[in-house]
Copies of this chain bind each other. A is one copy, B any other.
Amino acid sequence: MKPAPDQNEFPDLPLKPIFWRRGRLYIIDQTQLPFKKIIQEIKTAEEMVSAIQRLAIRGAPALGIAAAYGVVVGLKPYSHAPFQEFLNQFERITSLLIASRPTAVNIRWALEKLRQVLDQSCNDSTSAIWARLDAEARRIHLADLQCSQAIAENGLRLLPRQAKILTHCNTGSLATGGYGTALGIIFKAHQSGYRVQVFVDETRPLLQGARLTAWELEQWGIPFTVITDNMAAYVMQKIGLDAVIVGADRIACNGDTANKIGTLALAIQAAYHGIPFYVSAPFSSVDVGAPNGQAIPIEQRSASEIQHLQGIPIIPATWNTLSPAFDITPAELITAIITEKGIYHHPYHLSEN
């Protein structure tokens, strides 16, 4: 059995949401950020399920990696068991992981990759199968990091060497295998000697910008300023920005982009002020089944996210609220879409690439 990959494989990363050290798996407990950086060891699949459910680890790419590693950890005690028992445990663990966040497509995608490995190695010993699953999980992690790096290198070409950049939500190390999409471009610029100043939308309702993105920027030593979401237009008007860079949850073939609620507002405000507005995401975010944004359903989240802040009630639970997870930014407002495959400009024909 090859050893699990160590954090040292990516020595230029100041932080990873999930990593191996001496054969043990650890995550950063994101629920305690930004006040405490708590590293939690994940010893069983059940502990990974619990970590996913309580949002100790979150972010679409990070969840895929977490699920794959959850299988690896969970099957390790069965790596010398009879094949049928090994298989039963695989089924049990993958069901638990899928149920932990039913809408997380990256979890299903990663577990499907592991299932294909399993299907192709039925005649091997269980210890050999476990080693292949372990290697596949590491490939998923490595592929995510390589994708982030390629996105960052592409995005870098769009920035001036002194750049004031505004970003929304969390698209950084904590949301991915350890680098990030929109935030990865900012990290790359900083690493490349650019002078970067970042304005961070706090990102109501769950404050991923204030709690996570700002904390990541602090780890990197990049200057940042936290603002409430409704201050972005003020920053554009009074201070000026060189770019707004956001991530994407899903991109339609015509470039219409679903991303964290508040993204549409930023795109409209950037267009009004003549500021470039960039979407940055793995090309796999393109939904070839969606010709435009109308085809993307918008998840409505719990009203309690609006009624509470950090667990404190701010309005009565009986009051009407809206809680869309995403909004749809029309392609016409997006200056460019930055992926690992290249930079695309309006008008977008992404299904042809």
Contacts and interface: CB of A to CB of B under 8 A. Distances in A.
A224 to B, nearest CB: 6
A44 B298 CA distance: 55
A218 B319 contact: yes
Given A237-B327, A327-B237, A262 B230 contact: yes
Interface string A298-329: 10000000100110111110011110100110
A231 B320 CA distance: 14
Contact of A214 (B238, B262, B315): B315
A229 B207 contact: no
Given A204-B202, A314-B207, A322 B265 contact: no
Interface residues of A, number: 52
Nearest to A309: B309
A269 to B, nearest CB: 5
Interface string A234-264: 1101100000000000000000000001101
A346 to B, nearest CB: 16
A229 B204 contact: yes
Contacts of A320: 223-226
Given A226-B321, A322-B235, A324-B231, A316 B34 contact: yes
14 contacts: A202-B314, A204-B229, A225-B320, A226-B306, A227-B322, A228-B306, A231-B261, A232-B265, A234-B327, A235-B322, A238-B298, A309-B310, A309-B314, A312-B312
Interface of A: 34-35, 199, 201-205, 207, 210-211, 214, 218, 223-235, 237-238, 261-262, 264-265, 268-269, 271-272, 298, 306, 309-310, 312-316, 319-322, 324, 327-328
